[in-house]
Amino acid sequence: MFGAGSIGSCVGGMLARSHDVTLIGRKANVDAVRAKGLILQGAIRRRLRIDARESISDLSPPDLLIVTTKAYATPAVIEACSGWPREDTIVLTLQNGLGNLEQLRLWRGDFALGGTTTMGASLISTGVVRVADVGRTVIGSDMNSGAARSVVAAFRAAGIPTKTTRNIWGEIWSKAIVNASINPITAILKISNGESIKNRIVSKLMMEISREGETVAYNRGICLPYKSMYLRTRAVARQTSSNKSSMLRDLELGRRTEIRNINGEICRMGLDAQIPTPLNAAMVAMIESFEHSVVEKG
């Protein structure tokens, strides 16, 4: 598991029940897991002794590399792992944002699989993850159905509801549009996901942001799996009503956000196709201003 944050730790912890798993993450989290084990709370309750490291040095190439880092770290993951001699390692992205799978496929070809998950997990403290819901995980079988089936089997054996789809691009884009419509709004207003749909004006903003994303996706030939991304966004906000978005948490912790890989990518592709995306651009500008102010204060 390259990226031992909330989702990476949760997925890795569940897979460790039936597989040998190594978590790669930040020093603080790695130190905590080494000292007291990985602690899962909530819907999944267990304490595991699991291998945790800050880098892949001295690791043999794995059967499966799952990437759960921030989207902006994808090039660093590829650089770190590109020296592995093994040619049949499967690479799976469960990241947020757009552009991750494209980069991984330039590196690994059809051994790179796209994936999405609605697993609800949050890092309570170093080494401690609260699991709200195991959710639904989808693995793309568009280029390598055999590899996708083997990953699904491993996930199901670990108790993670998982299925394959040939429309992985639609799944990735639908998740990106949902994130683009919820994350920056909640980060700017400092509210939970559920609060974003309680106000009529905020809900209208969410609707227009999602419509811009839909327009860009359709222009690129993406078949979105939902008739209305706005209704899908509202459903996700309700399902995760008590959660803080990852973007809000990143700002609270003074970390870089994924705004450029989510709303920023929608804007970039919209510009290429001469499709206006002013509200997504506004979200990028505001979140970037918060990031800069955090850096200046620090």
Q: Quick count: other Cβ atoms within 10 Å of Cβ 223?
A: 11
Task: Count other Cβ atoms within 10 Å, centred on residue 210.
Answer: 25
H-helix or E-strand spanning residue 271: helix 263-272
| Structural contact between residues 146 and 168, judged by C-beta atoms closer than 8 angstroms | no
Rg (CA), the chain: 18
Of 94, 95, 93, 96, whose CA–CA distance to 104 is shortest?
93
CA dist 165 and 160 (Å) reads: 16
Q: Is 223 left (phi over 0), alpha (psi -120 to 50) or beta?
A: beta
How is residue 203 written in tokens?
């809900």
For every residue of 49-95, which 3-state class applies, written as one string? CCEEECCCCCCCCCCEEEECCCHHHHHHHHHHHCCCCCCCCEEEECC
Is 27 a residue of the active site? Answer: no
Annotated active-site residue in 27, 36, 163, 175: 175
Instruction: Determine the Cα–Cα distance for residues 154 and 145; give it in Å rounded to an integer.
Output: 14
Measured in degrees and rounded to the nearest 5, phi and psi for residue 225 equal -80, 0
Q: Which residues are catalytic?
A: 175
